[in-house]
Amino acid sequence: MERFLWFPLEDLPFIVIVLMLVFTVHEFAHAYSAYKFGDDTAYKEGRVTLNPMVHLDLFGSILLLVAGFGWAKPVPVNTSKFKNRRLMSIIVSAVGPLSNLLMAFVGMLIFYILHETGLLYSASHGVYMALVHFFWYLIIINLLLFVFNFIPLPPLDGYRIVAELLPLRIRYKIEQNIHWAMIIFLLFVFIPPLRAVTLDPILSLQGPIFLGLINFFDGIFSPLNWYDIAMDFSGQNMLR
């Protein structure tokens, strides 16, 4: 079973909690921004909420556990209700992954505060390990989803952003063949050789972003020894 999952089986409780948080905030950001821009479609369907059960998608959640990334239920958006349809559509699409970046930032900020105040080390070893696992997954999964959702393939947010920037003629042709694009996307996910030369290099961008956040917070707080934290987390160096 553990080999079937992308994450260690013993970490499943942390993964589930983090998934509920990151997917909920991501979809709420879409729904709330669309509502503020004049589209009440998501609001009428009860999507302008932080209730995780409204946003979670079973297949997308399972895919993240198995393949390392996934998605939640797409928020319905009627772009014809926007005053500036193209600009507001791009913003509504972008705020989802940007919310993941913000959550990673806040998660690392809280972790550094726990380190700075000594609270991270004053509890029992079990509590310390729980905090390390929770915040590690909170930061890493949010950064993963931030990068992943900007990939310009349907059904991801990156595709919606690129589609709004394309000439209508080209966009129309893509929309006519969108089912093929989704099939290609799934092939990239489930065929390791294809994934190794397509998705994996893109997803690896989370590493430099992670290190950039570390450098930023190390300049504000007492530096954290992330090598030791990574060793505590998994028994091997996870900074790769």
pTM over 0.85: yes
Q: What DSSP character marks residue 225?
A: -
**Cβ(105)–Cβ(112) below 8 Å:** no
Closest CA to 143 of 214, 229, 196: 214
Q: Residue 69 — pLDDT band, cuts 50, 70, 90? A: low
- Given a cut of 70, whether residue 27 has pLDDT beyond it is yes
Locate 196 and state its tokens: 């190794």
For 198-240, what is each residue's pLDDT tens digit? 888 998 999 999 999 999 999 999 999 998 898 888 754 344 3
Confidence label for 94 from pLDDT (cuts 50, 70 and 90): very high
pLDDT band at residue 154 under the 50/70/90 scheme: confident
Q: In angstroms, rounded to a whole number, what is the distance separating the alpha carbons of residues 215 and 145?
A: 21
27 is catalytic: yes
Mean pLDDT score of the chain: 88
User: In angstroms, rounded to a whole number, what is the distance separating the alpha carbons of residues 181 and 123?
Assistant: 50
61, 18 contact by CB (below 8 A): no
Mean pLDDT of 95-124: 95
* CA nearest to 214, candidates 227, 233, 201, 202: 227
Which of the following is catalytic: 27, 45, 116, 175? Answer: 27
